Structure 1
């Protein structure tokens, strides 16, 4: 047990603070093998995690690495370093704290391995990299504690799976190491505790006083939300009003592109020149650090941000959070709300701005969920084998290993506790040889077995190449953007390679909230100038496009089930009432499908509420089925809640399109030949180490990697269809880009109950779908028929007549 020294109490008192009960309890239970603390934002949970470490190191009789702190964000690690520096300096504690992320200079990284600090602040990727070095056993032998901040965020991704394998390895190198998890937003504490603990050990959960409920509301605007769109531009005057009323306002967006657009429009409307910044992951490190430093100094009145500032950063002057657009996920909204009033027992103030009319309903449902503390979360599914393959390579870089011992180590990770020996051996075989179809190629011969049965790298020089390609984040296909000038020019950030390919010299685009002009491409770097003499194109970024969570979708459907909606603005309530009168409102236990004519086409609208990825997949499947049925579909557009399909013929029996068994069969056939599989294969093969993004000092372009991965995918599909990498790809595609599991959930909850409403005009709920971007054309018989009709019309207008159908390509002049 780590007693909190009197000097710590004195320091707290000097600041007018007192140690909270949950902080004391964390210190008292510091000997626990694992411990999960759930405390509200501003409740001092990070300090609670560090107090036992600071107490143990206060006497100055300890050298070497004592505690590792892991966070999902580099900015969070830097913020913690600043915050820890205050008590350490003011109490004159003999403790050295350093961070180690992708932004850390190589010289410092090298020194840290030889002379590690007492406390190292890092990310999952940097920790994995440290475990590849031969001196890792020496560096970690005295490790006492690992603190994982915002553990809920890591538990939802492959980064968390990678981290848990790293923890399993650290436990071998330092058997007495203790694990601490910290979070403010956990929908299933037992699951997160199981994720954190060394399997099968238990993990106690401590709960802090949750504090007062947040002060959260929907922002009222004079202008009504538009029928479609996602930028929230209509609300800018009101957002500026709120910025003026508060010290510092954080304005969150769901995507980086939306953040750029909103910041640009906000700045144009900022007549009083209030200091406003922008922060997201595609900006350069220098620009992000300038914005963070300005926030710490209190120089900014507002900052437009994305998920890069979702987590943990302690900026006490933030007194308002504004979420632009539906949050799509209640847990994310709670996390963002917590950025305001980062003070214990003070309510966080937040406002939410629906970007369009339907999002008014979604935002209202999210507000109700926040007030009821009803958090959402999607099940993770089985352990990702591509991450497992990468970790075998990580272990091999450190030196020879015993397969039995490594398998046993993996089983101590809660994520991989159910891993079978057969699955492990398949991963080991692929890492060692590439698998059946690739055994003949030296490129994939990574490991060899020694006479004593242990495994090691076939070529020790391969370790450096493996290190350069570690990680599970697929933030690829981007090019650096720099100001053109002497030397290398000042870095601004990154844009997607596909967007860069559309630019010609003289084009302008937004980055960092500023308009820049494209001058050319030099050594995979986009060179720009500040000359902005055209309206900007909008850069596309790799920021996630969130799908509405299952729980939030269920709440929306429950809203529809009521007879009236007093919590909704009158314009939205009247819209829903009109839909109910003209047609029906969707319900949870029945699938609503509407058919109606419009603009010379027959339209079918399916209200599945399965999330954007799943609805997009459903659109592809249904149009293919309609094509086979001779209904001549021409295209579709999908949102989180519906898919709208148009074509030349009316759907006579919509229920026939949703036969569960044949739909699954069609999906499997469609998926096997779809580009989604190649894209998913590329991502998983890169994580598994079968493909390399970085080679030596050269970084391959997305197109180069895509080309080589497509060849590899086609080769395995043809010659080794049972290859492990194809099996992994199928698993990942099912739950990732196509999200077929949510389609199956939709079919299960409706259980064949279909309401097919046939009308003579567009319905109120379907109307906004006609304004949605992202229409997907269907290249089938319907389009061919349209082309024939147009050809007939043009020829007749030109005084030509077509010959009989058996000779369509011949034409004659009628005179």
Structure 2
């Protein structure tokens, strides 16, 4: 099918009636409609989605044949329904005979059955629903006429296992529909070629279309009367200034990095809202109905401000937003650019945004982020090869659809970019795992899910297993949560809180959810029952969610800023703080590692300014204290931030260089991981994705405690009897890549190359002071405890006059 140079008459008339001109990048997509793979890079508000659909609308306007023509995949269910609403406008106004439907977890079972029997022309879905569709025996019939697949916000999917799952799903679709054309839609990214390689059918190329980036955003730091605190993430000091900005604008989105911070900020904002401005809150732990009410109010323009998290990051066009406020350092330039684009969501209209640092160091990080945005210098880190737990799930999905040939499936999987380097040995290991569960588990029927037939094809051992496999499809690992409802029969749902937090509550405790203070009344049938209690100080629910670490690129910018000593753009209080650090000690520099040691509060302190991100700095604290214990330095504990690790103990460190031997650190990490809960938590996630653990069984969902018990038993069994089991290999890879972020420590050691600046000071340095206020202090059990106990006993004997009797 050739590309098109002009729109069909009905569509062109629709554009003309609105007084619109087709954008150059939209025309480029139309002209290249026949290309096997296209990637459009365009700024937020640049008409990406319409560009992706124009070839589909044009083709169906000319030839409205029945059956599925285009599949649209988005990261969010809400985005799919929003796109449907927007897409129906040109279809209905141009009177095009095109059916558009969405299919997500919220779609009723009756509608899903009808869609399989009679697919619409355009189906809007998510990676999980697509995987489920490809698992059915009638998948070849459902997708028989599929011509195009449009992947929206592909940059957001590229960084997670959902992206890996989607690309394996596209490989399956390409197997079913060899002529399938792929289109990816992305916001501005630092490496378009990497996204193109992910999208393309390996080794085929993918053409890249880049839109005009548009005008520079209007972005600055919010000026506040009070200086930010030295530590913390609540940004309470900025409440009056934020409220003033809300009053000056039509609709303001106030972004936070975590759900708990959003709840706390919303509560404080509401208490200060003397003018009773309509303000809402939106995040992933709230009940879906409550989120929907907020979304509808936004579209109508009824809200002046919405306190939110990443739940509103992506390309939904929410009403008349004219200001974005980011509370807390954005940690990642791409994320900031995405959020900025929510304001003035129109092509060639500058976005307006304000940054609110939550503490003193975040002032520096926010300035670095501002400069990166202005320089269009985005960050990004490669994810490496495709994870094998997702691969195991894909093998089971394929088996659900019917018998398969292992050689053909191996070639199909390698056509997905992240799996292009998949070795036959790794594939066979995953196949064997699906067939037997592995050496230690092969005697148990429940883990023997597929078998090889005499003709060489593989199939499900028991066809009834297909239903259970389908119930557990997906890579999103929900944290263990409990529903929260108002007390009483038929009590309305409020949202979810973590099981661990719920377990810490006793009757009468209060906490925040959905901006309301509620009182815990008890647990009934695994549901947390609450009543209203607005008059007391609440606890904050420990909402799980992404805990961002400062990107490598932002960290490097901060270090370059320190080396240049250029404080222009910084408030005077922060500039004075950094000048004082330079006079008392020195500032960290690129390519060098600054370590300070000094006495404080009767203990010896050591601060390591690694700028490796919170996870890596936390891991560094664990490993360094282990090394110090081995060397008799008696460490007592540590605390970490995004930029430094503080360790305290009984002995001064005079030569820190030997502590940073990378080989010794990695060996220490292996020993620490082997007996740590981090590994069990990581194992549970990977084992669930790979199909070893089932969270959903016959419509019933295991509680988090049940799932943890079964996964812990499995983990201990495999460690003891099958230490080289595939799932244990995957678990270590995942822990190293994610939770402990050892790659950032390797990068730090490579960057420093042994160039360590150790300064011995007589007191706390200005840069280290915030670390003493940082939460999450981790105590270390070791020789320090014994020494302190011995000193305490000696002092007691001396003071009591018993020392002579004991020979002390």
Q: Alpha carbons of 1:458 and 1:233: their partners in 2 closer, same or farther (altered >3 Å)?
A: same
**Pairwise CA distance, 1:459:** 1.0
Can you list the C-alpha shifts for 1:735-784, whole angstroms capped at 9, x where unaligned?
Answer: 11001111011111111111110011000000010000000000111123
Question: Which residue of structure 2 lines up, in the alignment, with residue 589 of structure 1?
Answer: 591
Question: Which residue of structure 2 lines up, in the alignment, with residue 576 of structure 1?
Answer: 578
Is the partner of 2:544 in helix, strand or coil? coil
**Pairwise CA distance, 1:224:** 0.3
Give the gaps of 5 or more residues in structure 1: 807-815
TM superposition outliers: structure 1 runs of 4+ over 6 Å: 795-800
Is the partner of 1:78 in helix, strand or coil? helix
Is the partner of 1:180 in helix, strand or coil? strand
Conserved? CA contact 1:330–1:369, under 8 Å: yes
Can you list the C-alpha shifts for 1:278-316, whole angstroms capped at 9, x where unaligned?
Answer: 111111110111111111111111101111110101125
**Pairwise CA distance, 1:797:** 6.7
Question: Which residue of structure 2 lines up, in the alignment, with residue 453 of structure 1?
Answer: 456
Question: Which residue of structure 2 lines up, in the alignment, with residue 665 of structure 1?
Answer: 667
Question: Which residue of structure 1 lines up, in the alignment, with residue 725 of structure 2?
Answer: 723
Conserved? CA contact 1:69–1:149, under 8 Å: yes
Alignment of 1:557 with 2:559, yes or no, is yes
Conserved? CA contact 1:64–1:117, under 8 Å: yes
Picking from 768, 781, 784, the partner of 1:782 is: 784
Conserved? CA contact 1:133–1:398, under 8 Å: yes
Conserved? CA contact 1:610–1:743, under 8 Å: yes
Question: Which residue of structure 2 lines up, in the alignment, with residue 633 of structure 1?
Answer: 635
Question: Which residue of structure 2 lines up, in the alignment, with residue 308 of structure 1?
Answer: 311
Q: What pairs with 1:467-478 in structure 2 (closer than 5 Å)?
A: 467-478=470-481
Tell me, in whole angstroms, the C-alpha distance in 2 between the residues paired with 1:286 and 1:104. Answer: 14
Can you list the C-alpha shifts for 1:368-391, whole angstroms capped at 9, x where unaligned?
Answer: 000000000011111100000000
Tell me, in whole angstroms, the C-alpha distance in 2 between the residues paired with 1:802 and 1:172. Answer: 87
How high is the TM-score relative to the length of structure 1?
Answer: 0.97
Picking from 38, 41, 44, the partner of 1:38 is: 41
Tell me, in whole angstroms, the C-alpha distance in 2 between the residues paired with 1:106 and 1:785. Answer: 66
Question: Which residue of structure 2 lines up, in the alignment, with residue 498 of structure 1?
Answer: 500
Please identify, of 350-359 and 694-703, the stretch whose mean Cα deviation from structure 2 is larger. 694-703
Conserved? CA contact 1:256–1:306, under 8 Å: yes
Alignment of 1:421 with 2:424, yes or no, is yes
Picking from 175, 180, 186, the partner of 2:178 is: 175
Picking from 709, 712, 715, the partner of 1:710 is: 712
**Pairwise CA distance, 1:555:** 0.4
Tell me, in whole angstroms, the C-alpha distance in 1 between the residues paired with 2:519 and 2:807. Answer: 54
Is the partner of 1:103 in helix, strand or coil? coil
Tell me, in whole angstroms, the C-alpha distance in 1 between the residues paired with 2:88 and 2:383. Answer: 37
Is the partner of 1:561 in helix, strand or coil? helix
Conserved? CA contact 1:60–1:95, under 8 Å: no
Q: Alpha carbons of 1:404 and 1:790: their partners in 2 closer, same or farther (altered >3 Å)?
A: same
Picking from 69, 89, 95, the partner of 2:92 is: 89
Tell me, in whole angstroms, the C-alpha distance in 2 between the residues paired with 1:796 and 1:464. Answer: 73
Tell me, in whole angstroms, the C-alpha distance in 1 between the residues paired with 2:504 and 2:523. Answer: 12
Tell me, in whole angstroms, the C-alpha distance in 2 between the residues paired with 1:803 and 1:308. Answer: 69
**Pairwise CA distance, 1:788:** 3.9
Question: Which residue of structure 1 lines up, in the alignment, with residue 625 of structure 2?
Answer: 623
Alignment of 1:299 with 2:287, yes or no, is no
Picking from 97, 113, 117, the partner of 1:114 is: 117
Conserved? CA contact 1:508–1:532, under 8 Å: no
Picking from 493, 510, 514, the partner of 1:512 is: 514
Conserved? CA contact 1:33–1:179, under 8 Å: yes
Please identify, of 660-669 and 544-553, the stretch whose mean Cα deviation from structure 2 is larger. 660-669
CA RMSD of aligned residues (A): 1.5
Tell me, in whole angstroms, the C-alpha distance in 1 between the residues paired with 2:609 and 2:116. Answer: 56
Alignment of 1:287 with 2:287, yes or no, is no
Question: Which residue of structure 1 lines up, in the alignment, with residue 758 of structure 2?
Answer: 756
Picking from 139, 142, 160, the partner of 1:139 is: 142
Q: Alpha carbons of 1:503 and 1:796: their partners in 2 closer, same or farther (altered >3 Å)?
A: farther
Q: What pairs with 1:180-329 in structure 2 (closer than 5 Å)?
A: 180-329=183-332
**Pairwise CA distance, 1:672:** 2.0
Question: Which residue of structure 2 lines up, in the alignment, with residue 365 of structure 1?
Answer: 368
Question: Which residue of structure 2 lines up, in the alignment, with residue 19 of structure 1?
Answer: 22
Tell me, in whole angstroms, the C-alpha distance in 2 between the residues paired with 1:540 and 1:114. Answer: 44
Tell me, in whole angstroms, the C-alpha distance in 1 between the residues paired with 2:18 and 2:80. Answer: 24
Tell me, in whole angstroms, the C-alpha distance in 1 between the residues paired with 2:752 and 2:636. Answer: 27
Conserved? CA contact 1:579–1:764, under 8 Å: yes
Tell me, in whole angstroms, the C-alpha distance in 2 between the residues paired with 1:102 and 1:588. Answer: 47
Question: Which residue of structure 2 lines up, in the alignment, with residue 811 of structure 1?
Answer: none
Is the partner of 1:58 in helix, strand or coil? helix
Tell me, in whole angstroms, the C-alpha distance in 1 between the residues paired with 2:542 and 2:778. Answer: 19
**Pairwise CA distance, 1:586:** 0.6
Tell me, in whole angstroms, the C-alpha distance in 1 between the residues paired with 2:39 and 2:58. Answer: 19
How high is the TM-score relative to the length of structure 2?
Answer: 0.98
Question: Which residue of structure 2 lines up, in the alignment, with residue 813 of structure 1?
Answer: none
Alignment of 1:345 with 2:359, yes or no, is no
Conserved? CA contact 2:679–2:732, under 8 Å: yes
Conserved? CA contact 2:608–2:646, under 8 Å: yes
**Pairwise CA distance, 1:107:** 1.9
Conserved? CA contact 1:103–1:285, under 8 Å: no
Tell me, in whole angstroms, the C-alpha distance in 2 between the residues paired with 1:149 and 1:40. Answer: 13
Can you list the C-alpha shifts for 1:625-675, whole angstroms capped at 9, x where unaligned?
Answer: 111111111110000100000111111211121122222222222222222
**Pairwise CA distance, 1:802:** 9.0
Tell me, in whole angstroms, the C-alpha distance in 1 between the residues paired with 2:448 and 2:55. Answer: 46
Can you list the C-alpha shifts for 1:399-422, whole angstroms capped at 9, x where unaligned?
Answer: 111111111111111111111111
Alignment of 1:600 with 2:633, yes or no, is no
Please identify, of 688-697 and 587-596, the stretch whose mean Cα deviation from structure 2 is larger. 688-697
Tell me, in whole angstroms, the C-alpha distance in 1 between the residues paired with 2:487 and 2:116. Answer: 37
